[in-house]
Amino acid sequence: MSEHIKIDIAALRKIGRDHWDPIGIRQRANLDCCFSSRFGVSSSRHRHRLIRKGAVILVRRRSMAKDGGGTSSAPAKIWACEELTGEDAFMPIVQSRRRFLASASVAGAAGLVGGFKSLHAEPAPETPIIRIEKILGGICTAPMFVVGELLRAEGFAELRYVPVQSADQTKALARGEADFSLTFVTTFVASIDAGNPITVLAGVHPGCFELFVNSRIQSVRDLKGRSVGIPSVGSPPHRFLSVIASQVGLRPSADINWVTSTSANPMELFAEGKIDAFLGFPPEPQELRARGVGRVIVNSALDRPWSQYFCCMLAASTDFVQSYPVATKRVLRAFFKATDLCMTEPEWVARQMVDGGFTARYDYALQTLNDVPYSAGRDYDAEDTIRFYALRLQEAGLIQSSPQTIIASGRDWRFLNELKRELKN
């Protein structure tokens, strides 16, 4: 029989000086939710519990409101149960978050990084190495920056980032130099339209771009005849802005003066007053707000119809999906968990992004994680997103294929549907 120890809920609540409440116990592989709101300290029957030595306590942060009521969806903390009882029985586990995430994934820590079934029920991935396109500059794709240890927990030995410029996204994927890419839906649609062997697997999050304008512009229609900065024709800002403009009856190629520059980026041209508008992606909106420059007339996180569809999606090379189906599913699951971390642990994710060299400013990274609605993604339909943007791009004259053709040739929802069933069960 396993050795057990007695814990005192009152003592645990006393230790929770920083407003943490117990919500469950993990006794090695099993999760016994023996704590809940009804198990208050006033209940003598549940005041003390016997648990297995070496188990951990799952806790969540209480609301910081003055009345002290309610609980938030803040990240869980972990406490180790040692041999002692009372206050000394709960000591924080001394380990890095990275090590915890890896072990938690293997153990199936459902409440922390996704409620998927045990990984032991699946075969090992067919390849040990995953290569992911890394877009230089953008940080709304934060899940890719913290997915490394989650991929290792899924059985992969190595993660390699393939750096690409904004205008070159999906090219490494199409050439077989990368296996996965997390980027903008318009980029994938245009790449599939060009005949590249790319398969979209799932949506990741909506709402990351914002249209900044000067005082002379009051609405999108006022962009007619105005100068709009973009990195290059065919870049994500160019495609998104073309779709936004055509939505209100403008002809993007004829009505807008597209400005590109090799000496300065569009954000700096806008800040200097040399252009009238530009479409910003994190961390650009966060920086402009901090500098008090311009104002926003379209925010894809808030304004319809853009807020109702994914902005960024995950795709893989078609050859990888066909050759390595187990690995494909495991990568997708790791990205789902990484997206959950962006939602539940933004402070930690922001720190990892800075420490990993993916961005320079912690404050802008944290603001991005709070601005982008990562939690909304699970309610959206990935195929509806592709259909919507394919139709808009076709109307703007940027692609030739119909939405039906794009969907038929460039998506595979098998893995997404399997993971949804795991979550449901």
- DSSP secondary structure, 407-421, as one string: HHHHB--HHHHHHHH
Which tens digit of pLDDT belongs to each residue from 201-232? Answer: 999 988 888 899 999 999 999 999 999 999 88
Helices 284-291 & 362-371 angle (0-180, nearest 10) = 110
Pairing of strands 257-259, 30-32: unpaired
Is the distance from CB of 202 to CB of 384 less than 8 angstroms? no
Dihedrals phi, psi of 307, to nearest 5 degrees: -75, -10
The tokens describing 46, both together, are 């549940």
What dihedral do alpha carbons 333, 147, 203, 318 form, nearest 10°?
-80
- Check: pTM over 0.75? Answer yes or no: no
Instruction: Collect the ranges in the chain with pLDDT lower than 70.
Output: 1-120, 377, 425
Which tens digit of pLDDT belongs to each residue from 393-423? Answer: 998 889 999 999 999 999 999 999 999 888 7
Question: Which pLDDT does position 8 carry in this prediction?
Answer: 55
Instruction: Please state, rounded to an integer, the average pLDDT across all residues of the chain.
Output: 76
Question: Which pLDDT does position 135 carry in this prediction?
Answer: 80
Question: Which pLDDT does position 110 carry in this prediction?
Answer: 34
Question: Which pLDDT does position 87 carry in this prediction?
Answer: 38
The helix (H) or strand (E) run that includes residue 26 is: strand 20-27
Question: Which pLDDT does position 45 carry in this prediction?
Answer: 39
User: How far is it, in rounded angstroms, from Cα 48 to Cα 125?
Assistant: 44
Looking at 308-410, which runs of residues are DSSP E strands? 310-317
Question: Which pLDDT does position 275 carry in this prediction?
Answer: 93
Question: Which pLDDT does position 313 carry in this prediction?
Answer: 93
On the CB side of 202, CA atoms within 13 Å amount to 23
Burial 386-420 (b: 16+ CB within 10 A, else e): bbbbbbbbbebebbebebeebbeebbbeebbeebe
User: How far is it, in rounded angstroms, from Cα 28 to Cα 25?
Assistant: 9
- Output 346-352 pairs: Cβ under 8 A, ≥24 positions apart: 346/370, 348/75, 348/97, 349/142, 349/145, 349/146, 352/145, 352/146
Question: Which pLDDT does position 422 carry in this prediction?
Answer: 85
Q: Which among 213, 212, 173 has a CA at the least distance from the CA of 191?
A: 173
